[in-house]
Amino acid sequence: MTQEEYLEALRSGAKMNFNDLIKLINENYNYTPASFINGDLQNTATENQGSAKLFCFGVIHQLTKLEVLHCFGEHYQGVLNDPEGDSHQNIRNFIIYGWEGLKFDSPVLVETSNPKYPLQADSKQNFGTTLIRSINQLYDFMGYYVKKNFIIRDLCINMNTHQNTIFHQLDKFIKHSHSFAMTIFRKITHSAKLVTPTYAFIIIIL
């Protein structure tokens, strides 16, 4: 099953199986254990990593809260059948807190065929595209932690502004978000060192 086939089945209302998704993730992503917070539940990097994989898969594919819950398959159904129980605390906490309650210390999944991170820019020509993708993913992942009055207004490539301005503005944005954003930012700046100077301009409305 491809990722597209899985998502189509998920969105059609088909009955999902947790292990099917884990198998799909293992086939398509490189995995790095990471600790994470889910509401009032602290998960170490050595526990509940199936949930960590699933949540990060949900972020990458911009799944809704309900879609993520259905990805847990039979485990989600078990929670629904036992609403007063204490099993599957990550599912129960996600029902309560949703995306706003999730905080990861570092990236968990890197897609092997078309990596979204770590960020790579191996030429001047594709650096602008890499930057756009990185900012979009950062905003998608960190949107829950950023104050609502912080938005990216515009992103114009090939303006006559030195790339240091990009990182100055992006750093200003990132300082208002979770520490995971700093990891993404370091990867962006690392990528920038691999290419010749490229010009872009970011306008961030405060």
What six digits make up the tokens of 75?
């485990």
Ranges 21-25, 43-47, 132-136, 145-149: which has the least confidence: 145-149
Per-residue pLDDT band for 108 (boundaries 50, 70, 90) equals: very high
What pLDDT, on a 0 to 100 scale, did the predictor assign at position 198?
36
Report domain extents, the chain.
3-111, 127-194
Nearest to 33 by CA among 116, 108, 112, 117: 108
Per residue in 19-46, pLDDT (tens digit) is: 999 999 999 999 999 999 999 999 999 9
Q: What's the angle, vertex CA 37, arms to CA 31 and CA 41, rounded to 5?
A: 125
What class is the 3-111 domain?
Answer: alpha beta
pLDDT at 127: 42
Put simply, whether the predicted model's pTM sits higher than 0.85 gets the answer no
State both tokens at 16: 């999902």
pLDDT above 80 for 145:
no
Confidence of residue 113 (pLDDT cuts 50, 70, 90): confident
Is residue 161 over pLDDT 80? no
